[in-house]
Amino acid sequence: MQDTAMVRNIALIGHGNSGKTSLAEAMLYTAGKIKRLGQVDDGTASLDFDGEEIKRKITINASFQNYTWNKVETYFIDTPVMIHSLTKRFLPPVSVTVQFSPSARFSV
């Protein structure tokens, strides 16, 4: 059984084009989980796999990934755009992420 003191759960949440996927790619690359650092603008980000995401250069689907760093297992969710521009409400994928990530921290 996994020691919960050695587990971190992270939800990457923010506005569009704030760098959530780029940060996630850098985390995976630094941890050695992926062999090349993908770029959203080039369509090479490993977390943006859907054709529409690559074409539009934005995250549409939430992506789940994990890596180990210094014996700590980290699980994270790379979420799509956080707030709908017209209704100013959380979009459904982000609402679900926040509900299941009680320790999620918001950074501006």
**The CATH number of the domain where 31 resides is what?**
3.40.50.300
Domain span at 79:
4-100
pTM of the model: 0.75
Whether 85 maps to a domain, the answer reads: yes
Confidence category of residue 107, pLDDT binned at 50, 70, 90: very low
Residue 85 is predicted with a pLDDT of 52
Residue 97 is predicted with a pLDDT of 58
Whether 106 maps to a domain, the answer reads: no
**Longest CA–CA separation in the chain, Å:** 45
Summarised one tens digit per residue, pLDDT across range 45-80 is 999 888 988 998 888 788 889 999 999 999 888 888
Q: How wide is the angle at C-alpha 59 spanned by C-alphas 29 and 38, nearest 5°?
A: 25
As given in the structure block, the two tokens for residue 1 are 């059984």
User: What is the spatial distance between Cα 67 and Cα 40, in angstroms, rounded to a whole number?
Assistant: 20
**DSSP string covering 20-76, please?**
HHHHHHHHHHHTTSSSS---TTTT--TT--SHHHHHHTS--S-EEEEEEETTEEEEE
Which residues, at least 6 apart from 5, have a Cβ–Cβ distance to it below 8 Å?
A: none
Counting the structural domains of the chain, the total is: 1
